[in-house]
Amino acid sequence: MPTSSQQIEITGLTEDSRKVKTGFLFAAMQGTKTDGVNYIDDAIKRGASVILAPLGTKISNKDVLLIEDENPRKRMALMASCFYGKQPENIAAVTGTNGKTSVSDFVRQIWKYLGKKSASIGTLGVKISGEKTLSFDDGITTPDSSRLHKILKNLADNDINHVAMEATSHGLAMHRLDGVKIKIAAFTNLTRDHLDYHKDMDNYLSAKKRLFSDFINIETAVLNADIPEFEALAEICEERGHEIISYGINGKEIRIIEQTPNNSGQLLKLEILGKQYSVELPLAGAFQAMNTACAIGISLADGNDINKIIEAVNHLKGVAGRIEKVATLKNRAEIYVDFAHTPDALENVLNALRPHTKEKLAVVFGCGGDRDKGKRPLMGEIAARLCDRVTITDDNPRTENPEAIRADVLRLCPEAVEISDRAEAINLAVSHLKSGDVLVIAGKGHETGQKIGNKIHPFDDKEQALLAATKIGIR
């Protein structure tokens, strides 16, 4: 058998045995549902010349190099970084429970306005100059390390040297971003999510802290000064020598002085580096003001002129599925779609649209199966407290009993209407809209499929809402 001290040229690397080709390195990773060690023989049959696996792994093929590692995920990421080599020169990574997608896209938009060739990577795939160029069909936000480093090389090869990317807790905990030369790291907020994986909030926060403690190229940290975790994050950054840009109502470098809702969004009064600025932000909600402040911080950290940044912010466009207005009915009732699938996100979007609601605020939502069950009643309570009409339906039940999921939500929302079929629920909610009402369809946002069992069925909240609205008549 070859030894790890020998030089072996590999032609590619992957964590999926089905994608192995002759000369590939196959990384046998242990996941939550499958163990890659079980697919080593398949990878070798397909031509793998190197196997990366956990300590104690045995293989019978003497012509294949076995590399054992106590942390194969981290080793794989660093290998991928070496294999693909080239990366964009300016990479910003955004972590936090909510806001990662919007902040990353806002930064890309600002960079584009400033004349920089830029891209964003995350929930919406890879976007260059506003176009989706690559989607992640397995529903993940942070792609596995080999795919991520391949994407970064392709961007750099196309002279795209400014990239804003989402850094999820899963991606950080599983070392998918290791080897990425991140210069700017940002933190939005921390609220309940993914506890099915992390088990508790301490583990959840620890995963996100890795972005600030474990990446050696970071020069600047952009931190939300309004959250309880700010001091702990700032301490890490100070120890690592990162410059800190704080933002928010309590922000030092970027302070939100005033927010005034208007017909087009909101008027923001900001103090940035001691000077006041007014911004006509064409987006509703206090959380969008925070996302915008974070994006300004990242743009500042990249060395851009603040006046040009403010000019760009006035032209920001909302992200698909984030408080996205789908239709206005003839009676002037409005319908929005939003990705909110956590308690905090749902509360934020409902609070954001209340000032724009002249009469009744309605919501249609559900919760995903095989995920954190504890957030379901919390979301039910929020909907019951903030809305005039609530419809509970199915989201992505996956392999869990949909009726049981709805029952969890209904525990603290007993007056809600329960309709299992999501299309039917949307149709009924739209049909009840009167003049001055606002309807929010929450949970799926940009998604175009609904996972029932192990199969994804075509489903688009925006499409279903438009069909229902058209029956009534739209402006």
Residue 2 maps to a domain: no
153 and 47 in a common domain: no
- 161 and 295 in a single domain? The answer is yes
Residue 7 lies in a domain: no
pLDDT value for 135: 53
Distance, CA of 401 to CA of 404 (rounded, Å): 5
Closest CA to 103 of 257, 322, 308: 322
Please return the burial class of 423, using the count of CB atoms within 10 Å of its CB with bins 0-12, 13-18 and 19+: middle
CA atoms within 13 A on the CB side of 103: 32
Is residue 5, in this structure, part of any structural domain at all? no
Indicate whether 91 and 65 sit together in one domain. Answer: no
List CB contacts of 7: < 8 A, sequence separation 6 or more.
Answer: none
Per residue in 376-426, pLDDT (tens digit) is 999 999 999 999 999 999 999 999 999 999 999 999 999 999 999 999 999
**Statement to judge: residues 292 and 342 lie in one domain:** no
- CATH code of residue 167: 3.40.1190.10
* Domain around 196: 83-313
Low-confidence ranges of the chain (pLDDT < 50): 136-139
Boundary (domain end) residue, out of 313, 346, 365 = 313
pLDDT on residue 132:
56
Q: At what angle do helices 286-301 and 306-313 cross, to 10 degrees?
A: 150
Q: Which of 313, 341, 356 is where one domain is finished?
A: 313
- Do residue 89 and residue 174 come from a single domain? yes
CATH label of the domain that carries residue 372: 3.90.190.20
Question: Is 351 in the same domain as 240?
Answer: no
Residue 343 phi/psi, 5-degree rounding, is -55, -45
Task: Please indicate, yes or no, whether residues 377 and 430 belong to a single structural domain of this protein.
Answer: yes
Q: Strand 324-328 vs strand 417-418: parallel, antiparallel, or unpaired? A: unpaired
Please indicate, yes or no, if residue 140 is contained in any of the structural domains.
Answer: yes
Query: In Å, how far are 77, 146, 204, 239, 285 from 175, measured between CA atoms?
Result: 7, 11, 14, 22, 33
pLDDT value at position 138? 43
* pLDDT the model gives residue 262: 87
Spatial CB neighbours of 31, under 8 Å, sequence gap ≥ 6: none
Structure tokens at 29: 């990773």
pLDDT of residue 112: 96
Q: Same structural domain for residues 61 and 134?
A: no
Query: Which residue is it, tokens 């990421």?
Result: 77
Q: Is 274 domain-assigned?
A: yes
How many structural domains comprise the chain?
3
Which one-letter amino acid corresponds to residue 132?
K
The Cα 50–Cα 52 span in angstroms is 7
349 within a domain of the structure (yes/no): yes
3-state secondary structure string, the chain? CCCCCCCCCCCEEECCHHHCCCCEEEECCECCCCEHHHHHHHHHHCCCCEEEEECCCCCCCCCCEEEEECCHHHHHHHHHHHHHCCCCCEEEEEECCCCHHHHHHHHHHHHHHCCCCEEEEECCEEEECCEEEECCCCCCCCCCHHHHHHHHHHHHHCCCCEEEEECCHHHHHCCCCCCCCCCEEEECCCCCCCHHHHCCHHHHHHHHHHHHHCCCCCCEEEEECCCCCHHHHHHHHHHHCCEEEEEECCCCCEEEEEEEEECCEEEEEEEECCEEEEEEECCCCHHHHHHHHHHHHHHHHCCCCHHHHHHHHCCCCCCCCCCEEEEEECCCCEEEEECCCCHHHHHHHHHHHHHHCCCCEEEEECCCCCCCCCHHHHHHHHHHHHCCEEEECCCCCECCCHHHHHHHHHCCCCCCEECCCHHHHHHHHHHCCCCCCEEEEECCCCCCEEEECCEEEECCHHHHHHHHHHHHCEC
CATH number of the domain that residue 18 is part of: 3.40.1390.10
Do 165 and 309 fall into the same domain? yes
pLDDT at residue number 129: 76
Identify the domain boundary among 313, 341, 372: 313
Residues 33 and 165 in one domain: no
- Amino acid identity of residue 42, one-letter, is D
Kindly state whether residues 169 and 290 are assigned to the same domain.
yes
Query: Quick check: is 318 in a domain?
Result: no
* Residue (of 428, 392, 442) closest to 413 by Cα position: 392
- Report the distance separating Cα 128 and Cα 132, nearest Å: 7
Domain membership flag for residue 6: no
CB 64 within 8 A of CB 82: no
Amino acid residing at 299? S
Predicted local distance difference test score (pLDDT) of residue 34: 81
**Cβ–Cβ < 8 Å for 439, 363:** yes
Same domain, 256 and 339: no
